[in-house]
Amino acid sequence: MMNWKPNPIALAGLALISAPLIAHAKIYVSIEQAQALLMPNKSLQKNPIIVTDDLQEKMRSASSVRHPFQGERIWKAVDGSWFIVDEVVGKHEMITYAVALNPSGGVIGIEILEYVESYGYEVDQAQWRKQFIGKTALDPIKLNQDIQNIGGATLSCKHLTDGVKRITVLYNLALKNPTLATKIK
């Protein structure tokens, strides 16, 4: 009769395989905190718009972001600057972020609100986010062109970069000329 002894390495591997992979959402800042950080001392008025299929398609072709833009998380300041919350896919999960635009459509700054992925969270580093300041829809806003990549966070960098591009395009197509945007009452 043979005496079976479990291989401890095999058992450890089995435990790893059967253990559920859980990604914990990290909330960096709330919408209100991001508004205070990006637009201090500015009074913001909620200004949602209806995103038509035509507008959605133009934003998609300019930015390659497939996830549809939701027009209800838009705020406008009295001075004509904008605060917009958007979402893009990181590698597998959604990244929620905010972009503040000056009255001319230039990026004031971006803040990561929620990040769920296990990797790539370095996109929250201030040094990386600073690259977007001053960019408008007229700039390429392309990874490895005018925005530097972060090794190990390539997909998050690319998708956030594309997302910021789409927000600047939204400004040009719908926000800078309020008669073109259909407001939600």
Query: What pLDDT, on the 0 to 100 scale, is given for residue 27?
Result: 82
pLDDT of residue 157 exceeding 90, the answer is: yes
pLDDT of residue 14 exceeding 80, the answer is: no
Is 70 part of any domain?
yes
Q: Which residue has the higher pLDDT, 137 or 5?
A: 137
pLDDT of residue 150 exceeding 60, the answer is: yes
pLDDT of residue 135 exceeding 80, the answer is: yes
Is 50 part of any domain?
yes
CA distances from 151 to 114, 131, 157, 176, 181 (A): 20, 16, 9, 35, 38
* pLDDT tens-digit map of 32-60: 999 999 999 999 999 999 999 999 999 99
Is 143 part of any domain?
yes
Residue 147 per-residue DSSP state = B
Which tokens hold the place of 136? 């408008």
What is the β-pairing status of strands 74-77 and 82-89? Answer: antiparallel
Is 6 part of any domain?
no
Query: What pLDDT, on the 0 to 100 scale, is given for residue 7?
Result: 62
- Measure the N-to-C terminal CA separation of the chain; round to a whole number of Å: 80
Please tell me the total count of domains within the chain.
1
- For residue 132, give the nearest of 122, 120, 143 by alpha carbon: 143
Is 10 part of any domain?
no
Q: Do residues 51 and 43 lie in contact, with contact meaning Cβ atoms separated by under 8 Å?
A: no
Question: For residue 59, what are the domain limits?
Answer: 25-183
Averaged pLDDT score across all residues of the chain: 88
CA distance linking residue 54 with residue 32, whole number of Å? 31
pLDDT of residue 25 exceeding 90, the answer is: no
Is 1 part of any domain?
no
Is 3 part of any domain?
no
Percent of the chain scored above 90 by pLDDT? 72
* Cβ partners under 8 Å of residue 52, min gap 6: 182
**50 bridge partner residues:** 182
Query: Helices in 5-153 by DSSP H: which ranges?
Result: 8-18, 31-38, 53-63, 126-129
Query: What's the average model confidence in pLDDT over 76-88?
Result: 97
